[in-house]
Amino acid sequence: MKEIIVAIDFSTCSMHALNYAVMLSNVTKANIKMIWVDNNSSPDALFTTTEKEVRQEKKKYFEEIIKRHEGQLTTAQMSYKLRKGKVFNEIATQAKADNASLIVSGTHGVSGFEEYWIGSNTYRIVTNAPCPVITIRQDFEYGKNIEKIIFPIDSTPDSMQKLECVTILASLFKSQINILAIYPKSINVLKRKVESNTKKAVQYLEEQKVTFSVESIVSDDITRTIINYAQKQNADLIATMTEQGVTKANVFLGPNAQQLVNNSSIPLLNIRSKLSATNKCNG
């Protein structure tokens, strides 16, 4: 991996995400770049004295963070960037400019917390990012490794598009991938598509010599099935596609992906479809 972008608003949630990124960096050797976005509406040329003072304060905070983490990074470097504009746009723009491999963002889940921008921008960061995004709750206790990754498979073509990225991570962390084939209760044609996708995944993982297991569950509640299974397995990460849809008003997460971000206590690896993504967890 080349670089990990971390969305920072100096909340406890975003600092937890940064610490998680440090763990990732120590395995992947990727540099870390922290991004803070000034989402004040005034244009760059019209910075007030107060706004300039705020930016200087943020720079001081970042220097302190870098100093505090000096002994924790084994080989990579940590830097920061201050940007101005819409939070999700600026983080996506920076990730694209740096050809970043991954973005890490904290999330408060269903609880919200609007006093920091992480709470209201997580979904938009995921749907606008040019690379995979890991979202992590501040109450998730992680170790020094990602030992078990849940790989849900359903009947959709997008279900398979996350396989390459997941395999890269599993190879780096020597993780086990748990394939979870989710079969609908009554529609046979969809069951056959799930079976076909599962066979393709098994063949690919065998070729890549990655440790994996396969389990099938019959359910029409995809979100709850994934979360319950991941908790039962004490998983470290769940891989999901963002199931994007586009309207004239906005780009939004599909229902299952958004429910996972809202309700999963386990970190999510969110990957956009090939039609919209330009970077797939590159090495």
Stretch 72-95: mean pLDDT, rounded?
94
| CATH class of residue range 148-271 | alpha beta
Q: Are 43 and 187 in contact (CB under 8 A)?
A: no
Q: How many CB atoms lie within 10 A of CB 60?
A: 10
The pLDDT mean for the chain works out to 85
- Sheet with 133-137, strands from edge to edge, namely 78-84, 31-38, 3-7, 102-107, 133-137, 268-271, 237-241, 148-153, 176-183, 212-218
Q: Does 248 have pLDDT greater than 60?
A: no
Distance CA 55, CA 97 (A): 22
- Per the rule left: phi > 0, alpha: psi between -120 and 50, beta: everything else, 263 is alpha
- Separation CA 97–CA 33 (nearest Å): 12
Confidence of residue 8 (pLDDT cuts 50, 70, 90): very high
Region 144-172: mean pLDDT is 88
Position 20, amino acid: Y
pLDDT at 247: 37
Q: Is the pLDDT of residue 56 over 70?
A: yes
Per CATH, the architecture of 3-137 is what?
3-Layer(aba) Sandwich (3.40)
* Cβ atoms of residues 90 and 37 within 8 Å: yes
Work out the percent of the chain whose per-residue pLDDT is above 90.
Answer: 56
In this model, does residue 48 exceed pLDDT 70? Answer: no
In order of 27, 47, 87, 118, 258, the CA distances from 41 in angstroms are: 39, 10, 12, 18, 28
Mean predicted confidence (pLDDT) in 217-238? 93
Q: What are phi and psi of 108, to 5 degrees?
A: -95, 0
Closest C-alpha to 155, from 218, 235, 210 = 218
Q: What is the mean pLDDT of residues 72-88?
A: 93
Q: Compute the C-alpha angle 239/7/44, nearest 5°.
A: 140
pLDDT digits (tens, 9 = 90+) for 85-110: 999 999 999 999 999 999 999 987 55
Count of CB atoms within 10 A of residue 172's CB? 18
Instruction: Assess whether pLDDT exceeds 90 at residue 49.
Output: no
Total Cβ atoms within 10 A of residue 283: 11
Whether the full predicted model's pTM is greater than 0.85, yes or no, is: yes
Nearest alpha carbon to residue 79 among 89, 69, 90, 87? 69
Identify the band that residue 16 occupies on the pLDDT scale cut at 50, 70 and 90.
very high
The domain limits of the chain are 3-137, 148-271
Same-fold call for 3-137 versus 148-271: yes
pLDDT of residue 45: 46
Percentage of the residues of the chain whose pLDDT score is greater than 70? 84
**Is residue 135 predicted with pLDDT exceeding 90?**
yes
Q: Greater confidence, 5 or 193?
A: 5
pLDDT score, position 55: 87
136 pLDDT above the threshold of 70: yes
Helices (H), the chain: 12-28, 49-69, 87-97, 117-128, 163-173, 188-207, 222-232, 255-263
pLDDT for res 19: 96
Residues 198-220: pLDDT tens digits? 999 999 999 999 999 999 999 88
What's the residue count for the chain? 283
Highest mean pLDDT (candidates 38-42, 95-99, 118-122): 95-99
